[in-house]
Each structure stands twice: as structure tokens, then as C-alpha cells.
């Protein structure tokens, strides 16, 4: 049976959820992955009545939901907090803006998100972790002995109590491996798992677009972490576009002609989704394919519709037979 194709609502939070659901349905989606911002899913309000009402709203719209996403608050748990975070965080998380207070309030919100997810009836919360050591990525001036270790210890100290709450509630946290997070490629993802002693509630929201332009084996990631792929984002990216701004972006805005890479509507970039579907089949992933639509050069409604069509076209079920087994006379009719 084909996987469900859903639309991540994070880039559509300027629209009320009721409007978003109508649009997603008209685009052909089976459901939505609700962002924990805007009015799409509000953790602070998510008591049983709120969750029941939200579920009824989805059902009335003919839509399903398998995951909620807390990228913005999750980012603040481990980050070096500055004025940028004020623009993405709820006021009650930002508070007075003192960094450690922000981090602690964000951590408490993540615990509440796990509890809200259980009430709402989803098993996966996608998001970011933030990182206290992302600024050391290039290692110049040379990274001092112990600095990176300290960053992973900080991640473990802050996230293990959160993950324990996820585990208690039967919910998984799926990190979207991504630059600026504690894990941004295969090597750092493995190190993050080691830091938390392979906590059973921690895994990944697989998104190939963050690997391709870095030169990371995005199909190999699926196979290496086959038991930790809790959710999948379908997002495309093109690279090799120009030579003025490289992999690090050159402080150039998205969708500028001098960027080396840029996000594209699904099917219009360099990602080989055929290989991804085959790898997902091989590991037995049966969850949704959730479109995270980003393309600065295309109308988003046009792009969301064509991305849905692409995902349904490229997806296919795995085989339950060995094709040449039928050469055996005993199996012939």
C-alpha cells in the first residue's frame, strides 16, 4: 500500500489552520504534519479538549496527522541564544531573554510537547536540538582539546531529561539533521547518538535536502540509521548552481543567482528520490512522506501541488516475492 503523503505546515503558518487544511486537501495531500507555531498546534493550549477539537477539525477536512513539529522551540534548548531567537520563540519562552533561562524554558516546553503529542494521538515529534558548538564547525582558530566533547556533553545533559519524558509517553523525538544542529551529517549524527547512549526515544526526521549539497551520502544515511528513521521529509535541493557563494552560503540570501545551492520544489533539484524510496523500502519504513516545501522561485501553491503529485508518482511498495523464484516448476500454475 502506498505511503501517505502529507504536507508540513511550518512554511504556511501565516494561514489559519482551517484555511491550510482546505488548501492541502485541494492539492491532493492525505494529511498534514502540524507545526507547533501559528494556530496549527499550540502546545500551551493542548489539553484533552483542545486535542480532541483539533482531531475533529482534521477529520472534518478529510485529513490525517502522524506527527507534530517543534523546530523553533527545540532550537533554543542547546543554542547560544541571541536576538534572532526572539523572532521565532513564543513570548513565554523568550521571557527576559537571558540565555540560560530561555534554554531551560524551551526544555520544559519540549517535555510538555511530548505529553501533548500523546494526548493528540501522534507517536512522533519532529524538531531541532540547537547546538552550543556549531560555531566551531570550521575549527579555526583551532578547536581546543575538549571543546567538542563539552558540546556533546551539554547536549546530553539538556536532552536526556527531555527524552526520558518522551519515552514515558510513548513518543519519539525525531531530529531533522541539519546545519546548526548537534547533528548535521552522518558523522555528527553518530556522535550525537553516542552522547545520549543511544536513547530509545531519539532518532531522526530524515530530510535529504540538508545532505546533498554538503556532499553527504544521503542514501547511506538511511541504511546506517535504519532503526532510527522515525519520519521522512521530502524536500529537494540543487547544487552546483554558481561559483560565487559556496557550501556555507556566502551570506547570500536564498534564491539568488550567485548561490552554489538552493532548495527546490520536490523533483526539480538534484536529489535522487528513486534511490531514497528503494532504501526506505529496504529498511521497512511505512510512515508518511511529508513534503516540506521550499522554493524561492516558485508560487508555493503551485509547488505544493506538483510536489504532492511527484511523491505519489515516485513512491512504490516493496516486493513480497523474489522475481526469479517463479522459474521453479513447483511454483508454476
Tens-digit pLDDT profile for residues 174-190 = 999 999 999 999 999 99
- Tens of pLDDT along 201-245? 999 999 999 999 999 999 999 999 999 999 999 999 999 999 999
Tell me which residues of the chain have a pLDDT lower than 70: 1, 322-327
Report the CATH number that the domain containing residue 174 is assigned in CATH.
Answer: 3.20.20.150
Domain holding 146, by residue range, is: 5-331
pTM of the model: 0.96
Could you tell me the end-to-end alpha-carbon distance of the chain, in angstroms, rounded to an integer?
26
pLDDT given at position 76: 98
Radius of gyration of the chain (CA): 20
Q: Is 8 helix (H, G, I), strand (E, B) or coil?
A: strand
Mean pLDDT in the chain?
Answer: 96
**Cα(210)–Cα(218) distance, rounded to whole angstroms?**
9
**Cα(14)–Cα(31) distance, rounded to whole angstroms?**
18
The answer to whether residues 22 and 54 touch, using CB atoms and an 8 Å cutoff, is: no
Angle, helices 71-78 vs 147-168, to 10°: value is 140
Counting the structural domains of the chain, the total is: 1
pLDDT given at position 280: 98
The answer to whether residues 32 and 122 touch, using CB atoms and an 8 Å cutoff, is: no
Strands 31-35 and 67-69: parallel
Half-sphere exposure (Cβ direction) of 95: Cα atoms closer than 13 Å: 13
**Cα(166)–Cα(68) distance, rounded to whole angstroms?**
13
The answer to whether residues 175 and 124 touch, using CB atoms and an 8 Å cutoff, is: no
Omega into 140 within 30° of 0, i.e. cis?
no
Question: What are the backbone angles phi and psi of residue 257, rounded to the nearest 5°?
Answer: -65, -15
pLDDT given at position 324: 65
Residue whose C-alpha is closest to residue 129's, from 204, 230, 222: 204
What DSSP character marks residue 175? E
Kindly state the cell numbers that stand for 16. 489559519
Question: What are the backbone angles phi and psi of residue 31, rounded to the nearest 5°?
Answer: -175, -170
Amino acid at each position: 500500500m502506498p505511503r501517505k503523503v502529507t504536507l508540513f505546515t511550518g512554511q504556511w503558518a501565516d494561514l489559519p489552520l482551517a484555511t491550510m487544511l482546505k488548501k492541502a486537501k485541494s492539492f491532493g495531500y492525505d494529511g498534514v504534519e502540524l507545526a507547533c507555531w501559528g494556530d496549527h498546534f499550540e502546545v500551551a493550549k493542548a489539553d484533552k479538549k483542545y486535542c480532541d477539537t483539533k482531531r475533529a477539525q482534521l477529520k472534518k477536512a478529510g485529513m490525517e496527522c502522524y506527527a507534530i513539529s517543534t523546530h523553533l522551540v527545540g532550537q533554543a534548548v542547546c543554542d547560544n541564544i541571541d536576538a534572532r531567537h526572539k523572532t521565532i520563540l513564543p513570548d513565554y519562552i523568550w521571557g527576559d531573554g537571558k540565555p540560560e533561562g530561555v534554554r531551560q524554558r524551551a526544555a520544559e516546553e519540549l517535555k510538555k510537547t511530548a505529553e501533548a503529542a500523546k494526548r493528540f494521538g501522534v507517536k512522533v515529534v519532529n524538531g531541532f536540538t540547537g547546538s552550543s558548538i556549531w560555531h566551531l564547525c570550521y575549527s579555526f582558530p583551532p578547536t581546543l582539546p575538549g571543546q567538542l566533547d563539552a558540546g556533546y556533553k551539554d547536549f546530553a545533559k539538556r536532552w536526556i531529561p527531555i527524552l526520558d519524558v518522551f519515552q514515558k509517553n510513548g513518543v519519539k523525538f525525531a531530529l531533522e539533521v541539519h546545519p546548526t544542529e548537534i547533528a548535521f551529517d552522518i558523522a555528527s549524527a553518530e556522535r550525537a547518538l553516542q552522547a545520549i547512549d543511544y536513547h530509545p526515544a531519539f532518532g531522526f526526521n530524515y530530510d535529504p535536502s540538508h545532505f546533498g549539497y554538503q556532499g553527504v551520502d544521503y542514501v547511506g544515511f538511511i541504511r546506517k540509521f535504519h532503526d532510527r528513521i522515525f519520519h521522512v521529509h521530502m524536500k529537494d535541493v540543487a547544487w552546483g548552481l554558481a561559483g560565487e557563494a559556496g557550501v556555507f552560503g556566502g551570506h547570500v540570501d536564498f534564491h539568488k543567482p550567485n548561490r552554489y545551492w538552493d532548495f527546490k520544489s520536490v523533483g526539480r533539484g538534484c536529489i535522487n528520490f528513486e534511490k531514497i524510496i528503494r532504501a526506505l523500502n529496504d529498511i521497512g519504513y511505512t510512515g508518511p512522506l511529508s513534503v516540506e516545501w521550499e522554493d524561492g522561485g516558485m508560487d508555493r501553491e503551485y509547488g505544493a501541488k506538483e510536489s504532492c503529485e511527484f511523491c505519489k508518482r515516485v513512491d512504490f511498495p516493496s516486493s513480497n516475492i523474489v522475481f526469479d523464484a517463479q522459474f521453479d516448476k513447483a511454483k508454476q500454475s
